[in-house]
Amino acid sequence: MNTLTEHSEKAYALLKADAEKIQKLIEVQLENLTMPQCPLYEEVLDTQMFGLSREIDFAIRLELIEQEVGKQILADLERKLAKLHEASLNK
């Protein structure tokens, strides 16, 4: 396996792990009945999502991941967060 492929796989794994950390943060907040409309909640989420998007952009610019792969990571996380938000509204 060449070095670029190894770095690409590692970059992808790290980005997925960061996305999962954001998801877990939101799940914990929802389990503790924190309102999704809370300004602090929204600020934390926005900051985390922005940071992840910058990491993804950086990995794309380094050609460690394809642009579509990066978009998919964000889209998957956004879908999961929408489901969590919807579930919290139904509590």
Question: What are the sequence ranges of the domains in the chain?
Answer: 3-89
pTM across the whole model: 0.80
Could you read off the pLDDT of 33-64 as tens digits, one per residue? 555 566 777 788 889 999 999 999 999 999 99
Task: Classify domain 3-89 by CATH architecture.
Answer: Orthogonal Bundle (1.10)
Could you read off the pLDDT of 5-42 as tens digits, one per residue? 999 999 999 999 999 999 888 777 777 755 556 677 77
Would you say 53 and 46 are in contact if contact means Cβ atoms under 8 Å apart? Answer: no
Intra-chain end-to-end CA distance of the chain, in Å: 49
Rounded to whole angstroms, what are the CA distances from 79 to 15, 32, 63, 72?
A: 16, 21, 25, 10
